[in-house]
Chain A
Amino acid sequence: MTKRIRTTETTLRPIRDTSRPLRQIDPGQVQQALGAEEVPAALTEALAPLTLFALREELVNRLQSSGGRPGLEGTTRRTKIPLSDKDWEKLEELAAAIASPGFAPSAGQVASVLLSLSLHSVASRLGSEPASSPLARELQGLAKRCP
């Protein structure tokens, strides 16, 4: 009969980065420096192949193998988030669309990265515009605290 091995090491406290967040680059500066023109279509409105590529890139960068299915780097909690069956199906479709041999993210991992990117996007926008409501001000404060 096999006996389960239990580690008795004390759990180390997570390291928190308290350094000041760096100033973001102005997109206009990048546009001018690269001699590009902005396309009016907003990427947040439609999932372009380029966005899918960015999503895949983020997953590749953050998936860490520790035996079994690789885990997402930087995630510390598993929270129940209400989702409709339709949304879950879309996540599964997305996960299947960006999978390749040796790289098969789960629908939950795709959801985690999409949520992280959306939160970052919302926080960036709030940071660049004056907060008009108490909720916006609170989010702005949160965005400033989170690097």
Chain B
Amino acid sequence: MRGCVCLRRKQPRMFRMVGSLPRLREFLHRMGRETNQGEIAFEFDGRFYRIRNFDAAEAKEQP
């Protein structure tokens, strides 16, 4: 089963969107990793992309 997320903007709000890319990366990679997906696919500006190698989960700091 594959996970699909549609990321599309008519005219991306550049600075706001660029600033949120690390959070978006974290979300997409986490979704793929934790739901055991083979890949996560998304579309941006008419191009099709896929993420196949997910980032490793960050170790939570112990209190």
The digit string for A61-82, where 1 denotes a CB below 8 A from any CB of B, is 0000000000000000000000
Which residues of the other chain, A, contact B4 by a CB distance below 8 angstroms? 49-50, 53
In whole angstroms, how far apart are the Cα atoms of A37 and B53 in the complex?
10
**B44-A35 in contact (CB<8A):** no
Known: A35-B25, A57-B6. A24 touches B11 (CB 8 A): yes
Q: Interface size on A (CB < 8 Å)?
A: 31
Q: Is A36 an interface residue (CB 8 A)?
A: yes
- Across-interface contacts of A39 in B (CB, < 8 A): 41, 47-50
Q: Which residues of A contact B52 (CB under 8 A)?
A: 37
- Are the CB atoms of B21 and A43 closer together than 8 Å? no
Interface residues of B (CB under 8 A from A): 4, 6, 8-14, 17-18, 21-22, 24-25, 28-29, 41-53, 55
Q: Which residues of A contact B (CB under 8 A)?
A: 21-25, 27, 29-31, 33-39, 41-44, 48-51, 53-54, 57, 120-121, 124, 147
